[in-house]
Amino acid sequence: MGKKDRKNLSIIDKELKIDGSISSTGTLIIKGQVTGTIEGDIVIIAEDGVVNSSSTKVSSLTIGGNFKGDLAASKELIILATGICAGKVEYQDLIVENGGVLNAEVSCTTSSRVAPGKESASFMAGLKKEKQIKL
C-alpha cells in the first residue's frame, strides 16, 4: 500500500492560549487565542478565534474572528461577515463579506501593474472614437 498525499491540518482549539511563534504547513485553524508571530500556508481564524500578531506571513488568511497586527498574505485575505481585521495588511486578493470589518493600513500587491497614466490615456482615447449621444 502506498502513502496517501495529505495536507497537514492543525487546530488550536478554544481552550488553548498560545504566546509565541507558530510555523505550520498545510492548514491551520485557530479557535483559541494566539499572541505572537505566525508563518504558514493557509490560516483560518474561526469565529471564536483571536489573534494579536506582530508578524503574520501566510499565503491565505481567512478571518471569521478577530485579527490585529501586521499581515502579509501572498495570495488572499478573506474577511467573513463575523470577522474583524485591524493593523497593517498586505495582500494580493481581497474578499470582504457584507458585515466584515477591515480597519487597517492596506497595501495591495499584484503581479501585473499598469504604469500610471497609460491605462487612463488609452481609455480616454477609446471614448473619443465612440459616438456620443446627447440626451
Domain-wise residue ranges, the chain: 9-111
Confidence of residue 92 (pLDDT cuts 50, 70, 90): very high
41-69: per-residue pLDDT in tens?
999 999 999 999 999 999 999 999 999 99
Which is more confident, 135 or 49? 49
Q: How far apart (Å, rounded) are the C-alpha atoms in residues 24 and 46?
A: 17
Helix (H, G, I), strand (E, B) or coil at 8: coil
- End-to-end alpha carbon distance in the chain: 74
Which of 90, 65, 63 lies closest to 79 in space, CA to CA?
63
